[in-house]
Amino acid sequence: MQITQHPTADSLELRLTGRIDATWADHLSKNIENAVRAGCHQVVLNFAGVEYISSLGIRVLLVQYKLLKSVNGSLGISHANDFCRNVLTTVGLSSLMVPDGAAVAAKPERRPAQTIGGATYEVYPQPVSVPLSCTLVGEPERLGSTGYNQEHCRLLTFAKGSFGLGLGAFGEGFADCEGRFGEFLAAAGCAISLPTNEAHALPDFVVEEGELVPRVETLYALTGSGDFSSMVRFDALAGGPGKIGLSELVTSLMELAGSDAIAFVMLAEAAGLVGASLRKSPAGQAVSTALPAVRDWLSFTSERSADKSLCLLVGVAGRNFEDGAAAFVRPLKSDSPVRAHIHAAAFPYRPVPRGELAFPATVAETLAVSTPNAVLHLMADARPFEGVGETDLARGACWMGPLNTIARG
């Protein structure tokens, strides 16, 4: 089978020639998936050259139709011959057929858009009843000095309407969590934590349901509450490298917010995550940053991890943090005036739905259909020769807003 791509203003047409049978069904599936990964969510299959379609071909159409529908996209079929048209009608897929030469109608996305640096941004203003505020909990400087004991542990709850990130664990009290403290992030009634009690431990998570609200025993954290004032869609420019560095993205978000300090939650398609996570709990002992001991304490991304994955980011970023907040943030890059603290949970790849997305529902749905496989404290790797740079993202949705206050808890 031959497949050629013919992009239009609103969609991508794939012109097919050959048979969609057991030999070529997977080939078609991968072509559609690659188009979705590249950001094309309105796809038309031109069947003018298709001679035959089998049950496996029908299965591909159903799977890809559901995939595109899940991201507010669409799949259409044009120029089908009588045989293919009869098959599609018989199996109940006649609704996929569009008039020959017509594009699939895209959902309206007419919002203010602009290009900043290497990406385009589309802003969806959100109603704000309560301005965003950030609370600083604990003493992050103890991580590399004395470690933490029971008096430093605080129980925090993360219901919908709140967010947070830091070091913590799921459990009941310091003694229960002593050997598991690691990176965590929380947003929209969902919390994800990476335990440190096993060498290859997987992230655990809790989602708010009825009386069940995520509770995290915390050593230190940045927490927040209030309403995000904007949902921002961002896409790396198609004519460039197809990715945008985290430092550039966060700086652009601050520009869009018109603020020197913002908080954000982001669901993005990653081109590569760069960061670190704890291997051991800092309860009762400080993390050593000296070689070679640091390798026993921290797991670094020696190369870009989670390439072509979906990731959930929670962060606070800004310029000119006051002394009380300075210990909670670090420069995004060695030459960046913006300081931030950002944690990311990585999931198997799924495209981020297009259009305006509801914040709590989108985050909850991500955890309902997929399981996180890593949690990282994102930071740039600027080592000469060996450094792998910073986190790069391709596209995504970000809920963000200016921080009204940043205060000690």
Query: CATH for 2-96, among 2.40.50.140, 3.40.1400.10, 3.40.50.10490, 3.30.750.24?
Result: 3.30.750.24
Structural domain boundaries in the chain: 2-96, 113-408
Q: Of 303 and 354, which is predicted with more confidence?
A: 354
pLDDT at 138: 97
Per-residue pLDDT tens over the stretch 226-253: 999 999 999 999 878 889 999 999 999 9
Phi, psi of 256 (to 5 degrees): -65, -35
Read off the amino acid at residue 298.
L
Predicted local confidence at residue 110, as pLDDT: 45
With 80 as the cut, is the pLDDT of residue 103 above it?
no
User: What's the rounded Cα separation, in Å, for the pair 233 and 225?
Assistant: 22
Q: State yes or no: pLDDT of 145 exceeds 50.
A: yes
What separation, in Å, do the N-terminal and C-terminal C-alpha atoms of the chain show?
63
* Model pLDDT, residue 104: 54
Of 108-117, 137-146, 226-235, minimum mean pLDDT range: 108-117
- Please give the residue that has the higher pLDDT: either 374 or 303: 374
Buried b (16+ CB within 10 A) or exposed e, 208-244: beeeebbbbbbbbbbbbbbebbbbbbbbbeeeeebbb
The residue ranking higher by pLDDT, 342 or 109, is: 342
Q: How confident is the model at residue 7 (pLDDT cuts 50, 70, 90)?
A: confident
Statement: residue 149 has pLDDT above 90:
yes
Quick check: 182 pLDDT over 90? yes
Say which residue, 2 or 165, is predicted with more confidence. Answer: 165
Instruction: Give pLDDT, residue 66.
Output: 85
Banded pLDDT at 286 (limits 50, 70, 90):
very high
- Extended strands (E) in 151-297: 154-157, 162-169, 182-187, 190-193, 204-207, 215-225, 230-236, 244-245, 261-272, 275-278
pLDDT in the model for residue 240:
80
282 or 36: which leads in pLDDT: 282
Other CB atoms within 10 A of residue 29 CB: 19
Residue 109 pLDDT:
44
Contact 310, 269 (CB under 8 A): yes
- 311-318 mean pLDDT: 97
Q: What percent of the chain has pLDDT above 70?
A: 95
Q: How far apart are CA 64 and CA 44, in angstroms?
A: 12
Q: Is the pLDDT of residue 43 over 50?
A: yes
Query: Does residue 322 surpass a pLDDT of 90?
Result: no
**Maximum mean pLDDT: which of 105-119, 176-190, 288-302:** 176-190
pLDDT of 107 above 60: no
Note the pLDDT of residue 108. 41
Instruction: Please state which of the ranges 63-67, 196-200, 324-328, 383-387 shows the lowest mean pLDDT.
Output: 383-387
pLDDT tens by residue, 158-167? 999 999 999 9
Q: Are strands 74-78 and 119-125 parallel, antiparallel or unpaired?
A: unpaired
Beta-carbon count within 10 A of 130 CB: 10
Mean pLDDT of the chain: 90
pLDDT category of residue 303 using cuts at 50, 70 and 90: low
For tokens 């991968």, name the residue.
30
Over range 97-118, report the average pLDDT: 67
Pinpoint the alpha helices (H) of 129-272: 173-177, 246-257
Mean pLDDT of 25-30: 91
Per-residue confidence (pLDDT) for residue 200, from 0 to 100: 87
Buried b (16+ CB within 10 A) or exposed e, 160-169: eebbbbbbbb
